[in-house]
Structure formats: C-alpha cells, structure tokens
Amino acid sequence: MIEIAVVGLGRVTPEFLRRPLEPRGYRVTVMQTVEELQERLQDGDSPLGAILLPARLPGGSPAQLIASLASSPAARECSAILVGVEESVRGRSAEMGADGFLQVPFSDADVLKVVGATTRLRKLILLVDDSPLIHKHTVPILKQAGYDVVSAFDGEEAIAKVSQVMPQLVITDVEMPKMDGYEVCRRVKSSPETAHIPVLICSALGDAADLQRGFDAGTDDYLVKPMAPVEVTTAVHDLLAGAMPSSRELILVVDDSAMTRLVVSDCLARQGFKIETAVDGRRGLEKARALNPAVIVSDYEMPEMNGFEMVVELKRDPQTSSIPVILLSARDSLRDHKQMEAAGVTACLVKPFTRDKCVVTVDRVLAETRLKAFKRGAETYFGQKTFEMVEEGARTGDMSTASAERCLVSILFSDICGFTTRSASMTPMEVIEMLNEYFDV
C-alpha cells in the first residue's frame, strides 16, 4: 500500500483527497504542519509515495521543502505535488522541484490522474483461462500496457484468487474446467466484497445467445476471440476508467434487457453518474422508493409492470412523484407522446437512439429539474406579491415598482466548480472552512 502525506491543507481538503485515493489502495496521512512531516520522515520506517502540499506554504518555501526531501531516506523516492488555485503555478511547479500540480477545485478523476502519474501505481488484472497459450500471449500485452497480471487456469482458482488479491479487473474465458466463466462472473458480482470489480469475458463463443448469457451473468463487457491486442487494451482501459468513483447524480436504469441496461448504464457512468439498475417496472418502483434517484431511465415494454404503469405508480406516491422519468420506446406517434406526457413522463427517447442522445437527454432533464428547484427556492425569499409586481412590470414595461434602493457597493463574484455537489453533504461550518481554505491556498 502506498502512503500519501497531505501537509498543510487544512481539515476539509484532505477529505476530498481521501475519498478517491483510499478505495484505490492508497493510505492517506494528514499533517497540519511541516514539523509533523519532518517528524514522520525522521521516525518513519516505510517510505512515502507522495507528498501533497500547498503552493503557497505559510512560513516557508515549497521549493526549499521539496529540495530538503532528498536528504531523507523515507522521502528520497517520493513525489511532491503542489496544490493551488492559480493556473500560473502549474508552469512554475517543475522549476520548484515538484513532480505534479493539482489545481483547486479538483475532481476525483483529477486526483487519481495526478497521484497515479507521479506514484506510478499499476493496476492489477486477474487473467482466467485454461489455455497456457492465452496466458503466454496476453500477459505480455497487458504488462506492456502498464498493468500487473495474476493468472488463474480454471474457475475455482479464479474465485479463490479474487478474494486473495482483490484485482481491479477480471478477464475470463467461458469454457473452462471446474467452473465456467459465466459462473465466475456471477460469483464475483454477487459478493458484496467483489461486486465493484469489472469483469471482461473473452470467449470464442460469439453467438447472440452467448453474449446475452454473459450480460445476464453480470459481465461489464464481452470480446469474441480472436482479438487484436489493441482491442484488449482498449477494453481494459475503458473498463478501468469507468470504475473510478462517481461523483454525479444517481440514475436508475430500468430495462428487462441486460444488453440495453449495460449500454445505457455504461454511457451514463462514463459521464460520472452513479448507476443503479432494475430488471422490470415493479423492481424499478421498489428501488425508486428506496433510493430516490435524480432521474429514472426506463424501457416501455417490460414484464411484471411496464414502464408506463411504473410512471403512473410513481406519480401517485408523494415520495416519488417529483422524480423525472425518461421512457425508452419505439412508440413515436403524436398520440403516444400525448399519453406519456399526461401520465407524467418527463422525456421520451425513441428507439433506436445513440449514446450521445441518451447523455444529452439526461443532462437536459437534470438541468430543467434544477431550474424548477431554484424557482421553488426563490419563493422562500420573495413573496407572491413580489412575483406579481415583476410580472405586471414585464407586461407593461414599467419596472419602477420593482426597483430596489440605489446604493454603491463592491462585489467579488467567483464560481467554484462542483460547489453544490461538494457542499450538499457538509455542515454550514464545514462549508465556511472550505471557502476559507480556497482563499488561503
């Protein structure tokens, strides 16, 4: 496990650094002063992987501190990453001896990219296939692409090694002794400890029924042998990129087709959304009540309860009536659209649709939902009489009745990327501390 020291960045910022790093195998140690870091370097037996410190270090120079690290055995091989607000610091960070620069505000992906690049943490892949030739051919390809590889030669060995080494990705064949790849996939996905691990099936079985069995088992992608090396590395890269912790809204995807669930979930997850799925309308209704998703994307035709019936039930329940619903349907007549609108459907995606169209529709619905929430929130601060005066002024062109008292003030306005998402789960005091830290960095 690689230890990351976070020095002099307050109390709130380290928590935003800890969130993406610790699930990826890093240990984050928070230190408030340079003196604490120096004590750790003197007393620590294990070396540090990286040190994150502010670009403006109170009472000292980051360049001098970075230069002094070379004299400490515990920090000689570690990387130094500066954290700051000003983009201009990025260009000067190398001159100061830093190995990387993290600009505030940052996303989880930004943290993983900078820390991963400087510490060179290699992701671990478990390759499962009963053919020694496949291992001899595929392992060098994966290692050359920057991954570490552990091998298993049958399904039972694979399940044992998944628990032992906790890989970031499992690549498995289907036809193997003792346990086939479908069952390997099912067991990985059914265990709470390993369900987050992406699974890639690579098999010579390429019929539609075989692919359907794979996706029903829970695989994240399916490649048909023989594959070119670039196909393997591209699929691995995409799956590992999609496995990064998500930070956007929760989307519930409801469809009885495993293939459609995968396609919709994948294109939305790549945009940072958290994803939950359900296989029919009844289970979708249950999950909507339990999870309160930001948006529901649902098929129309499904067993148990179809998408239209699910929407009707959602709108009857005060707990779920405000959740926007996007229906996937081949029905495209004016009558069908009017019927869906009357039932409470927010938007309709007509099949077939592109991934981009799906993402754009979800983003549009979320934007419209936020706007409605803003208008509702404004009613807390402005009485109904105020709205009536403004509306009347807009109709007549006379806005004098809505004018405020004139006064001369200086206003500093600054937009903080991702502020609403970050502050949603924080106490008021934590929000104030975070804002103060932005001014101090």
Would you kindly state where each structural domain of the chain is located, as residue ranges? 2-119, 124-242, 250-369, 400-440
- Tell me: the pLDDT tens digits for 126-181? 999 999 999 999 999 998 888 889 999 999 999 999 887 788 899 999 999 899 99
Identical topology for domains 2-119 and 250-369: yes
Q: Which CATH superfamily is domain 250-369 in?
A: Response regulator (3.40.50.2300)
438 bridge partner residues: none
Whether 107 has a pLDDT exceeding 50, the answer reads yes
Query: Using CA atoms, how far apart are residues 290 and 274, in angstroms rounded to an integer?
Result: 15
- Tell me: the pLDDT tens digits for 366-393? 878 876 776 666 666 666 666 677 667 6
Q: What is the pLDDT of residue 76?
A: 62
- Tell me: the pLDDT tens digits for 183-204? 999 999 988 778 878 999 999 8
The continuous run of DSSP H or E covering 54 comes out as strand 50-54
- Tell me: the pLDDT tens digits for 68-88? 776 676 666 678 888 888 877
Whether 105 has a pLDDT exceeding 60, the answer reads yes
Domain 124-242 class? alpha beta
Are the CB atoms for 108 and 20 separated by under 8 Å?
yes
Higher pLDDT, 427 or 199: 199
Query: Using CA atoms, how far apart are residues 313 and 325, in angstroms rounded to an integer?
Result: 12
Q: Which CATH architecture has domain 2-119?
A: 3-Layer(aba) Sandwich (3.40)
The per-residue DSSP string of 189-241 comes to: HHSTTTTTS-EEEEES--SHHHHHHHHHHT-SEEEESS--HHHHHHHHHHHHH
- Mean pLDDT, the chain, rounded, equals 81
